[in-house]
Amino acid sequence: MAQPTDASFANGTVNASIGLHRGHTEQRQGARPFEKVLIVGAGPAGLLLAVLLARRGIPSTVLEAWDRVDERLRATQYGVPATRIFRRAGILDDIRSASITHFPYICWRSVRTGDRVAGIDLSAVADDPDRMTVLSLNQILGILLRHCQEKYHNYITVLFNHKVIDIHQDQGKAWATTEDVSSKEETKTVTFEADYIVGCDGGKSTVRQCLFQRDWPGETFESHLLVQNVFYKGFEDHGWEGGNYMIDPEFWGLVAKRGKAQGDDGPLWRVTYGDSATNLSKEEYVRRREVAFKKMLPGHPDPSQYRVTQTDQFSIHNRCVTKMRVGRIFLAGDAAHVCNPFGGYGCMAAVLDVGGLADCLIGYYEGKADEDILDAYANIRRQKFLDFVDRRSRKNMNRIRKSDAESTPEFDPFLALLKSMDGDREKTKTFLLKVSSIEYDFTQHYREA
């Protein structure tokens, strides 16, 4: 076995492994420049990439560490650029039918007064097929998994309980070593080989760590994030709808209507807030929720007035790798870059990454582009993150946690822009549906383009 060509790879061996080793060159079919892609991680990036490739006949294997898709409370809304890729992947209709139909606005409110300081009227695009998508990430993952397993089972193999522990590459192939933990008796080590490996394994990415060890430039913020599913009649009673960004230096966040589920106590809402207190234990943060909800929620409720059905806690980071490609290994989504969730950029950036990478791999596979289109993916998507996603998500978070936006919104350029569009449905529609600077069409690099 040839040694990895890149010195930054972790050391390891495939000698003891079993599994899908195949003679690489003799497996090549026709004039195709590559045969198979290995995807690490069955999150939105990994499963969506597999679907986009399968739709053009490119086979992939998805290796997932857990025994199921992630059920934590994370993404719920995805901007217009992501909607367009969900449609390309053939999953938009399923998402829309699982989603709430009425999401009339996103607004910014003062926690101090509860009053609205600015907003966007989403009813201006209520019937537009490209409008923002609203659905809990675990439900989107369920839809993606179903498409992989039912519609594209000839092209996609999803293997749960396969935690990637090491990756390598040489001139002709790349391979990933996994621990198969499905059996209680023994942990098997299995090695999978492919032409390319795409690390879609999230913020704690093993693929990234194999490439760059702990080097992941950026910042981890001190504040702590609490996310909960909440039933509370007070939202309805006080006329709240849609998404409500809450501006406050102590407890700041997003309170948004999220699900079709309807309890006696009203529909399902998601309350996501940053707690500015630092260095507390998880239990201490949960104990402070009572104070946070009393301050933030309409009607200033006591715990007996609402019902919390699930809580998750997260740290907040904005970070990006120095390279999204090393030889035959690519990074996409959170494995490459993460941002705070305010503004709904993280998953959208992951979706745009894999939409772009799929176009590049398809172009190369179908002979419409040279191999260097894969470099374009890595360079352009990274730059898009740094120039737009990183900056905008930081601004979004700072707007709600440490600004005077609640008292003087006219001094915040973004809120001032929204105020200038107030009541003008045409202007609002154009603003919401325009091609975003975070999008990029890689097919312009195809030869026929």
Q: Which is nearer to ligand FAD, 216 or 446 (CB)?
A: 216
How many whole angstroms separate alpha carbon 117 and alpha carbon 123? 18
Of 25, 18, 346, residue with least CA distance to 195: 25
72 or 300: whose CB is closer to ligand FAD? 72
Note whether 51 and 156 are within 8 A (CB).
yes
CB of 232 to ligand FAD, least distance (A): 19
- The smaller minimum CB distance to ligand FAD, of residues 119 and 344, is found at 344
C-beta closer to ligand FAD: residue 181 or 380:
181
What letter would DSSP give residue 33?
A: S
Q: Please, what sign has the CA dihedral across residues 200, 132, 415, 290?
A: negative
- Closest CB to ligand FAD belongs to which residue? 43
CB of 329 to ligand FAD, least distance (A): 13
What's the min distance (Å) between Cβ of 382 and ligand FAD?
Answer: 14
The residue (of 65 and 247) whose beta carbon lies closer to ligand FAD is 65
Closer residue to ligand FAD (CB): 64 or 359: 64
Minimum distance of ligand FAD from residue 59's CB (angstroms): 18
* Residue 129 backbone zone (phi > 0: left; psi -120 to 50: alpha; other: beta): alpha
Backbone dihedral region for residue 211 (phi beyond 0: left; psi -120 to 50: alpha; all else: beta)? alpha
What SS3 class is residue 152?
A: coil
Q: CA-CA distance, 312 to 270, in Å (whole number)?
A: 11
Give the shortest CB-26-to-ligand FAD separation in angstroms: 29
Between 65 and 405, name the residue whose CB sits nearer to ligand FAD: 65
The smaller minimum CB distance to ligand FAD, of residues 49 and 369, is found at 49
Block residue for tokens 């352009």 = 380
The two tokens of residue 166 are 């090491």
Closest separation in Å from C-beta 168 to ligand FAD: 15
Residue number with CB closer to ligand FAD (330 or 446) = 330
User: Residue 351: CB partners within 8 Å, gap ≥ 6?
Assistant: 44, 45, 48, 78, 81, 82, 85, 86
CB of 225 to ligand FAD, least distance (A): 6
Contact in structure between 164 and 297 (CB atoms under 8 Å): no
The nearest distance, CB 89 to ligand FAD, in angstroms, is: 14
Residue 301: what residue type?
Answer: P
Strand order of the sheet with strand 116-121?
116-121, 105-110, 243-247, 251-263, 266-275, 218-232, 306-320, 337-338
Q: Where along the sequence are the contacts to ligand FAD (CB under 6 A)?
A: 40-46, 63-66, 70, 74-78, 137, 163-164, 200-202, 206, 225, 227, 272, 314, 333-335, 341, 344-348, 350
Task: CB nearer to ligand FAD: give 70 or 366.
Answer: 70
Query: Could you give the CA distance from residue 378 to residue 371 in angstroms, rounded to a whole number?
Result: 12
**Closest to 317 in 3D by CA, of 336, 349, 341, 350:** 341
Q: Shortest Cβ distance from residue 309 to ligand FAD (Å)?
A: 16
CB 169 to ligand FAD: min, Å? 17
Distances from the Cα of 127 to the Cα of 104, 124, 140, 436, angstroms: 11, 8, 21, 20
Q: How far apart are CA 448 and CA 368, in angstroms?
A: 7
Tell the smallest beta-carbon distance from residue 97 to ligand FAD (Å): 20
Residue listed under structure tokens 């001139």: 171
Residue 19: CB partners within 8 Å, gap ≥ 6? 190, 191, 192
Q: How far apart are the C-alpha atoms of 1 and 4, rounded to whole Å?
A: 9
Least distance to ligand FAD, CB of residue 301, Å: 22
Helices (H), 115-216: 137-146, 206-212
CB closer to ligand FAD out of 167 and 369 = 167
As a whole number of angstroms, the distance between CA 191 and CA 208 comes to 18
Nearer to ligand FAD, 266 or 346 (CB): 346
